[in-house]
Structure formats: C-alpha cells, structure tokens
Amino acid sequence: MTPKQDTIYAEPNQQIDKFSFDVNVAGVFDDMIKRSIPGYSTIIQTIGDMAYKFVKPETNVYDLGCSLGTATISLRRNIQHPNSRIIAVDSSQSMIERCYENINAYKSSTEVELICCDIRDVDINNASMVVLNFTLQFLDPSDRRALIQKIYNGLNPGGVLVLSEKLKFNDEIIQQHLDSQHLDFKRANGYSELEISQKRTALEDVMRTDTLETHQQRMNECGFQHFNIWFQCFNFASMVAIK
Ligand SMILES: Nc1ncnc2c1ncn2[C@@H]1O[C@H](C[S@+](CC[C@H]([NH3+])C(=O)[O-])CC(=O)[O-])[C@@H](O)[C@H]1O
Ligand SMILES: O=C(O)C(=O)Cc1ccccc1
C-alpha cells in the first residue's frame, strides 16, 4: 500500500504549533520520514542485518521510539532465534495504534511486546540489541546520559546499540553546507519552501541535535569502549556502540 502523503505543512498557518507525534503525524509518518531523512531505508535494512548478527537466543531486543514499527519489522524479519523477544516502545498513542496493526500484518515466531510509555521509564535487561532510530534527539538533553547509561547497563557483553540521529556541526561552514544539502533532498522529494520552513519552526526546541563528538563522549562516559559511525548522509548519521 502506498503511504498517505504528508501535506501537514503545505498550507500557510497563522500560528505554528510545536511539532508533536499526534494522530495527524502518525497518519502520514511513513511518507514523512522517507521524504525527510536521507538514507532512512538503508538504515532500516542495516538494522535488520545487525539483528541477524547480534541477536542471541533467550535475549531481549529493544526498539525505543518505535513509531510505526518499521525498525521492529526489520529486526523481526532478521532474528534467527525463535526464543528472543522484541520490546517496542513509543509514548505516542497514535503511533502505537498504527504500529500494532503494522506488526500484526506479518506472521512471525518472534514475539513483539508493544508498550505505550516514555522510554525513560522502561526497564532494559538481558538485551543483545537496542535500537534508538532518530529518537534520542527528541529527549530533553539533560536526560540523554541517563538513558544511554541504562542501555549500557541492560546490554549483555557483546550486545549492540544502534543510535541514529540528525547531527549538528561546530564548524559553521560545514553546518551550513550539510544543512543545505538536506534541504535540497527535501525539495527533490517534493516539499515546498513553505512546508520546509513551517516544519523547521515547529521542530525548534523539540528536536535538539548533538554533535558527533558529544555522542562519542557520552557513549564513552557510559562505558562503551567500542563506538563508531557506520553511516552518514549529509547531516544524518547512524552510529554503533558495542559493549
Ligand atoms: N520520551 C519518549 N518516549 C517514548 N517515545 C518517544 C519519546 N520521545 C519521542 N518518542 C517517539 O520517538 C519517535 C521518533 S521518530 C522514530 C522513528 C522510528 N524509530 C523509525 O525507525 O521509524 C523520529 C522522527 O520523527 O524523526 C516518535 O514516534 C515519538 O513519539
Ligand atoms: O524533516 C526534517 O527536517 C528532519 O529533520 C527530520 C524529521 C523527520 C520526521 C519527523 C521529524 C523530523
């Protein structure tokens, strides 16, 4: 089925509300994320490839900020062991409802537990893989370290964290260049100048990005000794940390 087209910011708005993962966004999210994040499909595919390699029998796999379940479905398709379990979490009720339908559209022997709650309140234990695919950037910056620490503590030795994020750059010239390439990507995917600028306003103070150096330092401080970026397209990156 072709996803419903994202026209949320297509008409001029008198007042632009803060971006939220409400029923309107959930209804067009498949289309929105594919047209907004360069490399999204590659990252989803590779999360599946990593699940094949990293997920061990009798362990938990977490998809934190699962939205419509795209990463969960990729994980589940690639897990080799029937006796592992995916715990998919999102705080948006509208996302969770649609995610439930998407997950149940496929049969699989891997159980998925869907939880509607804040990822800061979820217990992480006996994990062989944790996915934060473009979710950490929406968390209050002062809560990020505690979340990464909780993930580190809940991972088994040899377990993996996949962290995908929009990046910020200290170098102003690089920041401007990569941002303009991202805007060209959105234009090429059919977004108008009005859509781009209204969404940008809505995302201010809602999505706060970190530099790669901040991510690296936080990972190290939480105990991860093996960390690197495995994918980057413009200002979007996916990183891997192994315990
Ligand atoms: N504190 C929180 N607790 C729980 N959920 C949260 C929280 N904050 C934000 N979310 C949820 O995190 C998701 C972020 S989207 C993830 C895409 C997905 N991973 C994908 O692979 O398609 C990324 C984006 O829109 O750029 C939304 O569904 C929020 O409701
Ligand atoms: O659209 C953007 O400009 C982004 O930075 C990515 C994004 C994608 C989906 C929801 C919110 C932000």
Residue ranges of domains in the chain, CATH in brackets: 33-93+116-242 (3.40.50.150)
Residue nearest to atom 2 of ligand 1 (CA): 118
State whether the beta carbon of 33 lies less than 6 angstroms from ligand 2.
Answer: yes
- For ligand 2, mutation pick of 9, 34, 37 (most atoms within 8 Å of CB): 37
Does 35 sit in the ligand 2 pocket, CB within 6 Å? no
End-to-end alpha-carbon separation of the chain, Å?
A: 39
Residue 106 assigned to a binding site: no
Task: Please give the structure tokens belonging to residue 227.
Answer: 């960390």
Q: ipTM for the complex?
A: 0.99
Distance (angstroms) between ligand 1 centre and the Cα of 184 equals 24
62 known ligand binder: no
C-alpha 90 – ligand 1 centre gap (Å): 6
Nearest CA to ligand 2 atom 9: 33
d(CA 142, CA 147): 10
Tens-digit pLDDT string for the chain (243 aa): 678 999 999 999 999 999 999 999 999 999 999 999 999 999 999 999 999 999 999 999 999 999 999 999 999 999 998 899 999 999 999 999 999 999 999 889 999 999 999 999 999 999 999 999 999 999 999 999 999 999 999 999 999 999 999 999 999 999 999 999 999 999 999 999 999 999 999 999 999 999 999 999 999 999 999 999 999 999 999 999 999
For residue 220, CA distances in Å to 64, 101, 137, 225, 242 come to 20, 38, 18, 6, 11
Cα 213 to ligand 1 centre (Å)? 22
What residue owns the CA closest to ligand 2's atom 4? 36
Contact (Cβ atoms closer than 8 angstroms) between residue 118 and residue 146 = no
